[in-house]
Each structure stands twice: as C-alpha cells, then as structure tokens.
Structure 1
Amino acid sequence: MRIVIVGGGQAAASMAARLRAKGHEGPLTVIGNEPAAPYQRPPLSKAYLLGQMGLDRLTLRAPDWWRDQGIGLHLSETALSIDPAARVLTTDRGTYPYDALALTTGAVPRRLPAAMGGDLPGTHVIRTLADVDALAPQMREGRRLVVIGGGYIGLEAAAVARKLGLEVTLIEAAPRILGRVAAAETADLIRALHRAHGVTILEGAAISRITGEAQADGVALTDGRQIPADLVIMGIGVLPDTALAAAAGLALDNGIATDSRGRTSDPAIWAAGDCASVPWQGGRLRLESVGGAIDMAECAADDMLGQGRDYAPKAWFWSDQFDAKLQIAGLNAGHDQVVTRAEQGDHTASVWYYRQGKLIAVDALNDARAYMIGKRLIEGGLSPDPAAIPTVADLRVLLS
C-alpha cells in the first residue's frame, strides 16, 4: 500500500512514525512545503525567538531516522492538487499515486487585510521558522513593539519582547485578553503578570489600521489614539489550511471534516492535526495543540492499517510567559461555574471550570500540582465539590 502524507509538522512526523511502528512496510512519502524537516512549533514564539533553542533541538527526528525508516521526506515541495478518482497527488515537482493519502496541512496565521496595513514591511506573524527568522533580528532593545491580539501567541510574543528589552504595547479589540479561550479569572492572572513586567495592555481597543507608507510606524485606533511602533506583530489567530482539501471536493466543517477515526468524506483520504475537525459532543472539535496533533495522527494511521479506533480527545496545553508557566487540562467550552484557588507565591493560582457540576478543565499558573491533579480528575471522570477547591489543604485528597 502506497501512503502519502502532505504536511511537515507534528502530525506528519507522528503519523509516519506510527505507520512504521504498526508494521506498514510499503512506500511511505512525506511532503512538506518548508525547507526544514518536521519540527516543533510551540517553542518558536518562546525559546527559539529568545535564542535559547536552536533548530537542532526543534527538529522532531534526526535526519538519519527518516532514511533508516525508509520514509521519503520531500522538503520545499508544495502540494498543488488531488485527483480523488485517480488517487494521484500533484505537487510543483511531480505526481504521487497513492492508495492512502493523509492531509496534515496545519493552519495559517490570520493577518489584517492589506487595506488596514496588514502587508506593510515591518508587520509580522508567528507560525513558521521563516516567520521567526525574519522577526528575530528586529527584536532589539529599546525598539517599540505593538502586538495586535491578546491570545496566547500575542501574549507569548509580548513576554519575549520585554525580556529582550523592547517597549511593548499589546492591543486587544475584545473587552479583555484571552476572551475566547479562558475565563476572566485566568485573564486577570495573566494581565497582572504582564503589567508587572512592564507590558502596556489596551483592552476594548478597536484598530483602524496599521500606519506607515514604506514601513509600519504605528497603529491607529478607532477612538483616535495613535500607538507608535518600530514593528508590529499580528497574533489574531489562525485558520485551518483547507485549500487543498476544498479543491478536491472534501467535506469541510471547522476544518477538514473527518469521522471519529480520522477518515474524510473520501474513503482513501485521512486528515489530522490543526487542519482537521472530529465529531465531539454533538458538534465538531478542532484542537490546535501538540497533544491533539499526535493523538489524531496516530488514530488515523491505525485506521489506514485496518486497526481503527475512535479518537478520544485528551486536551492539554501550555503557555510560557516570562518565568511563568500556564498549564491547561481539559476543554472549558460551555462551563457554567468557575472556582479559583490561590497558592503561595507571586502569580501562582489555579482556575477550575465546571459544567452542570462536572469538572471539565483546569488552568494552572505556576502550579504543576494543581495541573496534574486536575488532569487526573478529568481523565478519571471525577468531579470534586467546587466548594472544596479553594479550601482543601492538600489537593491530593481530591483523588481519594
């Protein structure tokens, strides 16, 4: 069986490794449009941008591994089209007949439209090595950075910039930072952390445009304020990369729609990672996380080999900002109660989410114990009394 994987990220590498580990001995090809072999993306906006981690540590597999596993790794090659009837993938370098095709195309960062200055020199996004390699030389002490977007990518970029000595203003159009992904209690903790490190945060601040002629020189707000800048980072989210799937006629729904085992509307094509959505609680779920990419890719690989099983999301995330670590277990969608537990130490607390009395997620800032216990409770289907969270002396008793 000829298997072709399109994409060069965590899902592609995990799928290829799983296929070989599960006994696939046939031709296996991975096609990525970047010049680097599959690498970790989360450190790009943190350790890599700070210069604390090199490409050798980012790379998921050593070059010899791909050769030893008999996997054809094609870099700097762009997939152009799929012919589902003929089962042929066409790239800018040739054609690849397949028996099974996997799409692990990831996501693409959103930019402000050109009419709002989103394409001006001096504007940046953070998604790929090339993005960060272009940004890093501009992050110099004393320069003025404006970050547009108060999600995790924007906040991480702001933290790195302050560590490097830049003056940082973060602008969020919504009433508060982290509005789509976390409770107000978590946002309060993160806002206090950033302000303690000198980041200026403007919330409820709608953007008129990025200003400048030949170079971005600031951001104009709709209320008339002008925020000067030497460079601008847009951290306004990502969109699933579905262009290839859409052109091939595959079903889309918050990404490339798959069944519970990773198969798309075409029986010979699977999808996994940030580009794909799976059935979940009567709707569809698309997880933008390392854990999700690995689990979905391995589930799809098993299904290709006739060892299919339903994908069970085990959501966990993290975000490093300054010297603080935010760890997240579970999915907080639909929560109707939030309980906060404060611990000793600066910027140390946990936020516990409930839905109809059931514990569904935990945000833990500088509190690894709360994260681990919350994760075990959620995975075990256990829901302690919310009233006990702030008051119990030792969280471990909640496991008994």
Structure 2
Amino acid sequence: MRLSTFTGRRRKGEQQSEKQPRHLHLIFHLCSEIQQDKLRCVLLCTDRTYDYSVVRPGPNLNMIVGANGTGKSSIVCAICLVLAGRTVTLGRGDKVGLYVKRGCQKGFVEIELFKNGGNLVISREIHVENNQSLWMINGGISNQKKVEEEVKALQIQVSNLCQFLPQEKVGEFAKMSKIELLEATEKSVGPPEMYEYHCELKNFRNKERELENVVKEKASFLEKAKQRNERNKIDVNRYYEKKRHLDVIELLEKKKPWVEYETARKELEGLKMEREEAKKQLSALRQAQAPMLKKIQQIDDQLKPNESQMKAKEAAALDRKENELLSEKKRLSELKGKRRQLEQKISTKQDR
C-alpha cells in the first residue's frame, strides 16, 4: 500500500484567484480488482487531517501505522462516509460537516469498488454550511438511497461492528453478547439468506415455546376440568333427577285444567238433571195450584173496585184534614197578631 499526502501549498509565483473559494479536499479512492485470487485496492481521500491524499491498499492485509493525530482514523471515517454510513457509526460527531477539515467549506470523498461487469465509483461531496451531501455514482448524479442499495448489493455493512469497527466503537463491540456477535458475524461473512434463516429459526423457536406454553396451559386446564367434572357428577345427577321431577310437575300442570274441566262438566250435568227435575216438580205444582190461583184471581178482581173506593175516600179525608189544618193555622196567626197589638198597648200605657 502506498500512502501519499499533499499539503495543498501553492508553488512560487502561483497566484490564487479571488473568485475561486479556498477549498481543501479529502479524497478517498478505493479500487478493487480480483486477478488470479489477488485483490488490489486504490484509496483516494481528503478529510479534516489531509488536504489531499491517495491511498492504494494491496491485495492482502493492509495496515496503516502512525503516531496519534496523523490521520489513521480519518481514512476509516472517509470510507464510512462515502459508503453511506451514518455518523453515529463513527461516534465522533453527529453532523457530516464536522468531518471536513477546519476552515474548508466542503470536502470530497471518492471510492472505487470492484464489481463484476465494471467497477463501481461512488463520490460524496460534503457541504459544511448546511450539512448536505452531493452523491455521484460512476460520475452521474445520484442520491443516498441508491448508494445504500449499491453498497448493500456488494454485501458491505459499515454498521456491522464485525465488518467495520471504528476506534470509538471498540468498547461497544466488547460489550456485545454472544448472540449479537453471532448475528453480526452471520451478516458479515455469511450469505445474505443466512441471517434471514437464523431469524426465521428464532421465530420458529419462539413460536414453538409459545405453543409449548399453550399446550401446558391446555393440559393444566384439561386436568382441572376433569377434576371439576368428577366433583360435579353428583350435582349433575341431582340436576337430572330434579329435571325429571320438574317434567312430571309440568305434565301434571298441563293435565290439571283437563281434570278441572271434567269435574266441572260432571257437576254441570248433575245440575242440569236437577234443573230438569225441578222444572217437572214446578209444572206439577202449578197444575195442582191452578184452581186455587183461579179463585185468588177472582177475589182480586172483586177487591179492585173496593180498593179504588177506599183510595178515593182516603184522598177526600186527607184533603178535608188539610183544609182544616190551613184554617187553624190562619186563625192562629190572627190571634198572634192581636196579641202583639195588646202587648203594644200595654207597653204604651205603662210608659205614660
């Protein structure tokens, strides 16, 4: 691997145009080619450490050695940013503008990756002022989503600590559990479907546990139901016996009106017979009393004129008595008038 660093100084006699902004670029260019089982990578980067730098790794293990502050982590940050990695993955800053060299308005990172049918060149231009990025794929304008799709198709996972481990994430990597390490390793070195199969296997296991719990609950419920059923057998027998009695009572209740009807019908027939017998006796008595009734009628006919005469005499006597009573009342009122006159005369004489 050959690492070249350029400070970006102007040559003697070279003048900088005032119209052109003063930009310091960090370009990170990676080119991978597989030839006879060898991998050759070329990296070209600019960041907050380098003004301009090109890194070309070899086909085998590559190691960058240098003192603190020489820009080793800057190369790692450039790789992450150009591969559409998030700043939280690096753990150094939450805004992409912080990864551009201080005093510069924008930074540029480019990486070239080996791909069957033609290498893939991804470029990212970072603007400090608004923390926005301009993406390009093979020289054409693109966006972050398409870059993420291309990177994913090459099975590059910058968010996987087993594949891409920044310095600030070593502590987090050490805290990963065995399960998390296994899943991260599957994503890193295994085929894409391995992790999916693993997730399906875990889901099946969870479903199996849920079904086992359901079976246990059902078995427990069944056992309790059997015990409860044994306890309820006596009550059930009593219930059926009671139901039989209630059915008999219901049947008797239904028969009761018919029995009452039969009793009433027989009583009615007896009363009808008694009525017919009474009619016969009444007819016989009327026939026997007919002569006497005839005599009584004759006597009544004879008494009717006498009764009318007696009523006339009684009415005349009453009228006479009423007239006498009226005359007596009149005479009494006259006497009362004379008495009052005499009392007035007596009182007059006494006053004199």
TM over 0.5: no
Q: Which has the larger radius of gyration?
A: 2
The TM-score, its normalising length taken from structure 1, stands at: 0.19
The TM-score, its normalising length taken from structure 2, stands at: 0.21
> Which structure shows the higher strand fraction?
1
> Which structure shows the higher helix fraction?
2
